[in-house]
Every structure is written in C-alpha cells, then in structure tokens.
Structure 1
Amino acid sequence: MNLEHLKALAAVIDEGTFEAAADLLRITPSAVSQRIKALETSVGQVLVRRRVPCATTDAGALLLRMARQVQVLEAETSAALGPGPAARAHLPVAVNADSLATWFLPVLDDAAGWADAALDLHLEDQGFSSQLLREGEVMGAVTSDPVPVSGCRVEPLGSMRYIPVAAPGLRHRFLGSGRLDWAAMPVLKFNSKDNLQQELLAKKDVSRQPPTHTVPSSQGFLAAAKAGLGWGMIPELQLADELEPGSLVRLEELEEGAYEDVVLYWQAWTLDSERLKRITAAVRNAARERLRPVDGGGPIGPSRAGYTRRK
C-alpha cells in the first residue's frame, strides 16, 4: 500500500474526478489512474467507482480511512521532526446543520488558531453522519448513533431540545376551542430526512399529512416559521432571541409535553493523533457549555443563542 497511491485515492474521492485529483496532486490524470490501478492490484479489489463524482467501494472505504489516518500522522511526524513549516493536516468532520449554527460555533473559534490543521466540515443529519465514518469520509462526527463505528470511540455530548413553534398569526388561525388543529395547520420540514415534525404529529394521532413546506436551511427554516409559512420543531438555542419579542410562540403552551430531546454523541477514530485530540476537546468543551445534560436537565451554559436545523 504505497503512500503515494493512498494519497491519490484520497484526492480522487475528495475532488470527485481523476482530472481534479491530478490538479491537486500536480501530476497528470494518467498518473492518478495508474496509481489507483496499482493500489487496486495490490489489494486485489476494485476501490473506486468511476462515476461523477467518484465514490469508494466498500473495500475502498477501508483504504480511504487508512489514507486519511496516514495523512494526519504524516503531518504530525513532519512537525515533530522540524524545523521548517508544519504541514497542514486536513481534519474532515461531520456535523448536522442545527449544531453548526449554534453550539458548535466555539469549535470554529478554536480552529481559527490552529496553524497546522485545516477543518473540512461535512453537513449531514445526526442520524446519518456515522455512515461517513464507516466510509472513511470523516475522522470525527456529531451523531445521534451511540453505537461506535468499528475503529472509533464514542462519547455523549448532551441533548438538543427541539420545541414546536409558530408565528402568532398562524397559531391564531388554527386555534379553535382552545386546541390546535394539527391536521390542518401547515408544517415545515428541513429535508426528506427530517422527521421531527412527523413524530410529534404521530404522538397526537394525526394520520392525515398537513400541507408541508420544505426549507433546507437553518436560518431559512427560522425565517419561514417567523413569516407564518408553517410551524416547525426548532432548537431552543435558536429561539433565545425570538420568543420574548413575540415573533414566535411556543405551541406546547397549549399542548403539554410537546418537545423532543435529541441526544448527540461524538464519534472519532481511535487514532493517537494530537490534532484529533485537539478537535475532540474543542467539541467536548463547546457541548458542555451549551447542550443540555443527557439526563434531560436544564441548560448548562449562559448563552443559548443559535442552534440550527437537524440535518
């Protein structure tokens, strides 16, 4: 498993095509193809699906994860040998949009001071982000999956509370006899993976799907709720500055227990890497400041502004 061959594999997957990988590595597309073929010959399996963008096979995912680990260790070894400028190691991390827009922000502040590492964020729903670890796409992930991926360690971060809210005018339109008409009131969803609203409707025995609007943006989702386009489950961190002015109202004031706590975990490679330890510590500290304890207790940190959507 030649190091240059592994670098070519990572470049092809990161850039999406052999031509783009060649530009990154400053070699010809033919040389990239030869390195991938040599790597496939050495392990006796096809590693790359030749499509646009290129993707790994199951065997390729294993090699891709090793390639990324080697790159991190190579950069750290080079820095330890010194002198000279330290190589920047890419730190691919998966995080859901709601986290990125809120409690995860201090991680970006920390990363701004890392001269030897470049953060590479992948947006993915917390219920699916662990798959990126399995495929070797990322070295760490914010996930709702408590079962560690093979070769990874997992630790609980805390829980995000989602609260059903709506614009006052929308709630008033569908409020009759002191109860909301959940079956008729328009609802928002982030994307096809977003089932938080549907879970709440199921708890209320709503069998008919209300009019549904898709808004695949954390900020856009909040803006849509404020505009009265529909109601939605929004993280309480994102609502800190919205409820007091009255631009949004909590729907659980009318219906008891209408909220959802999503427990988040940090999964990362079991790799003895200073850079990986650094980002793990940054994620852990940010979560401790802003997320609820896993047992469902109250908020920990003084600032609860700025969550995001779920995916």
Structure 2
Amino acid sequence: MMDFAQLATFQAVIDTGSFEAAARELHVTPSAVSQRIKALERSVGQVLVRRAKPCVATSAGEALVRFAGQVKLLEQEALGQARDGTRISIVVNADSLHTWFLPALATIKGPQFELHTDDEFHTADLLRSGMAMAAVTADEEVVQGCRIEPLGAMRYLACGRPADDTMILYNRKDRLQHRIAPDKSEMSIHYVPSASAFIEAIRLGLGWGVVPEWIAREDIAAGLYQDLGRHLDVPLYWQYWRIDSEVLEELTAAVKAAAAPFLRT
C-alpha cells in the first residue's frame, strides 16, 4: 500500500520545484522530505524525481503526479474542504484565455485557480505530465485517465492589409498562419507572444495574422484592418481528470456554457 505522507511530499516537491520549498510548505525539515522521497522511490522501484533546478518528475513519476493530485482533491472533497482554497491547475490556449474562458472561472466559488497557457496543439502535454487537472486543447486524442468533451470550433479570420508580406506569429509553436498562408517561399515573421499585443500588432500594420472572428468582426467594421478572405476553424476540446470530483464536474459545466456563445458547433 502506498504511503500517503510520502505521496503528498512527492507532490509538494514537484509543485514547488525543490526539496527546501516542499519542506517549508509541509512544515518539516528538508532531510525529512529527502527521506520520504527516497522511501517512495524504493517502494515503487524507480526514480521519480529528477534532482534539478527546478525538480521535475521523471517519466516514471509523471503518472504518480496525477495520482497524487487526484488523491488530494478527493480527500479534500471528502472532508468538505474543496471549497476552501483547493488549487485547480488548468492549461488553456492564449486565445481562449483572452476571450471566453475566464467567465467560466468566475462562476466557481472557493477553489484557487492556477492557469497555464500554451499553444492549443500542445496544451494536452501538461495534462499528460500530471501537472494540470484540465485543459482546453485542440488535441482530440484522449489523454490516459481523462475524459473529453467537445467545445466547438474557434474560427479565425486572416486579417491585415492586402499588401502585407510579413506574418505575425504568437511564438515558434504557432502554426495557424502557415495553414492558410498564401503560397510564398519567402515571408518575414514577427513573433509577438501576447494575445492582446498580437492583435494590436496587426492593427498597427506590422503584418497579417489570424484573429478570433468575434474580435476580427468588430475591428474590421471599425476600419482597423481588412478581412483577407481566408479563414480557419480549429476544433477545441475540454479534457479533465476522470475522477468523481464535484468541483471538476461543476467546472466542466461552466466551461461548456462559457464556450457555447463563442465557438462554432
């Protein structure tokens, strides 16, 4: 049987990134943290923590990260503490975070939310590692140990000025523009890693890029840039831990309700 004190210590090390910070959080000595981690690794027969700065879970430890988080959440719910500051870690793509996602969180009272952002085709990676409990993702492959709910498709319009031959990208993971780019062998690129600044760069004429349609429609009507006549639909999904958690079920309902007016079915 797994020792739950060791499991909680393992989670604290991964969450805080060091044995010392985990010791402060758990109100024990760093030596006690080290002893618990070594005992846990002996019990499972594998190295679970990569001792680095910060400490991270090994491949063997990633499944245990998710399990430790699930145990903690279910324990808090069983004790009636899930509304008293439970931390819910979520990874979401920048465009959803910038537009429709936050109102969903505003309807859930009690938990503390830790939000991470990544490209929609990579958000599920954090879910796979066990570091996130839920994700808004374009990845339709169900992560092991998770449930999946379709949210609808986010439509993007290619926007800018007709003569633009410079492309605006969010970061080097961003490939949306490439999927509908005109056939040009040479195209300059600006990288603008902020959802609001990305759109502002297009408004200022730095280049063209894809903009969520409900923002694009208003900007086009205001004459800030033009619709370049190309669009792209990206289906999004909500993936979350497959456990009987009241908080996660309530959050799922809120996310689906918040997404419905903005995403195409």
State which of 87, 90, 101 in structure 1 corresponds to 2:87. 90
CA contact (8 A) 1:78 1:86 kept: no
Structure with bigger gyration radius: 1
Aligned counterpart, 2:189: 212
* 1:141 partner SS: strand
Aligned counterpart, 2:247: 275
Residues 181-228 of structure 1 deviation map (CA, whole Å, 9 limit, x = unaligned): x6xx11110001101112222xx33222x1111000001101111111
| Alignment map for 1:57-136 (pairs within 5 Å) | 57-79=58-80, 87-111=84-108, 114-115=109-110, 117-136=111-130
Q: Separation in 1 of the partners of 2:180 and 2:221?
A: 24
Following TM superposition, by how much is the alpha carbon of 1:68 offset from its aligned partner in structure 2, in angstroms? Answer: 0.2
CA contact (8 A) 1:103 1:291 kept: no
Task: Summarize the Cα distance change of 1:240–1:29 in structure 2 as closer, same or farther, 3 Å threshold.
Answer: farther
Aligned counterpart, 1:179: none
CA contact (8 A) 2:50 2:56 kept: yes
Q: Which amino acid aligns with 1:124?
A: D
State which of 233, 254, 262 in structure 2 corresponds to 1:261. 233
Q: CA RMSD in A?
A: 1.6
Following TM superposition, by how much is the alpha carbon of 1:251 offset from its aligned partner in structure 2, in angstroms? Answer: 1.0
Q: Separation in 2 of the partners of 1:277 and 1:104?
A: 16
Following TM superposition, by how much is the alpha carbon of 1:28 offset from its aligned partner in structure 2, in angstroms? Answer: 1.9
State which of 152, 175, 188 in structure 1 corresponds to 2:168. 188
CA contact (8 A) 2:159 2:216 kept: no
Runs of 4+ more than 3 Å apart: none
| Alignment map for 1:1-311 (pairs within 5 Å) | 1-79=2-80, 87-111=84-108, 114-115=109-110, 117-166=111-160, 170-171=161-162, 174=163, 185-201=165-181, 204-208=182-186, 210-252=187-229, 258-293=230-265
CA contact (8 A) 1:102 1:237 kept: no
* Unaligned 5+ runs, structure 2: none
Residues 122-153 of structure 1 deviation map (CA, whole Å, 9 limit, x = unaligned): 11211111121211111111111112111111
CA contact (8 A) 1:75 1:88 kept: no
* 2:21 partner SS: helix
Q: Separation in 2 of the partners of 1:70 and 1:102?
A: 32
Percent identical among aligned pairs is 47
* 2:260 partner SS: helix
Q: Separation in 1 of the partners of 2:119 and 2:5?
A: 33
Aligned counterpart, 1:303: none
Following TM superposition, by how much is the alpha carbon of 1:270 offset from its aligned partner in structure 2, in angstroms? Answer: 1.1
TM-score by length of 1: 0.81
TM-score by length of 2: 0.95
* Unaligned 5+ runs, structure 1: 175-181, 253-257, 294-311
Residues 156-182 of structure 1 deviation map (CA, whole Å, 9 limit, x = unaligned): 10000111111xxx43xx2xxxxxxx6
Following TM superposition, by how much is the alpha carbon of 1:262 offset from its aligned partner in structure 2, in angstroms? Answer: 0.3
Task: Summarize the Cα distance change of 1:130–1:212 in structure 2 as closer, same or farther, 3 Å threshold.
Answer: same
* 2:79 partner SS: helix
